[in-house]
Amino acid sequence: MSTTPIKGENGILFLYLDDAWKPIACLTSNSLSTTVEVIERQTKCAPGVTEKSAGVFNYSLSADGEYIDTTTEGGDDAKASHDALLVLQESRELQQWKLDTDMSNESSVKYYGTALITDLSLDQAVNENSTFSATLDGNGAILRTDPNVAPSV
């Protein structure tokens, strides 16, 4: 079993667009955050004792990157940048996502799911490259197999 750390630049977030997984363009960082709601209760059967149980599982993904033009002739339409994310956010539809934890390793862990693009911002400061940030609010379970690949029989 390998104990080699995985470099952050090898983890890439993708969206399923036009029947293909497209990376979100020029990312500087991306993350997956998971939570489980905690349900607490106290009863007279055990005075002064708080019992805890698991509630709802939630997750979100975030991405930050440099804005690139993917809409004009000669633009990189193999990737999704702010412009594509805005169109998807305006559709208010669930989007399929994939997080490949280590693109340098064919057998890396890959996570899949669906989410809404809930927050999107474009920052354009003087003397700096334009950047964007996005937040995807997860829907349902996180899968370990690609839902777009038919299972082998």
- Asked if the model's pLDDT at residue 72 lies above 60, the reply is no
Exposed, middle or buried, 4 (CB in 10 Å: 0-12/13-18/19+)? exposed
Q: Average pLDDT of the chain?
A: 88
Per-residue pLDDT, averaged over 64-84, amounts to 74
What class does CATH assign to 8-143?
mainly beta
Q: Tokens 């939570």, residue?
A: 35
Enter the DSSP assignment of 152. P
Name the residue with tokens 């690139």: 68
Supply the pLDDT for residue 71: 65
Q: What is the C-alpha R_g of the chain?
A: 19
pLDDT of residue 4: 77
Domain boundaries, the chain: 8-143
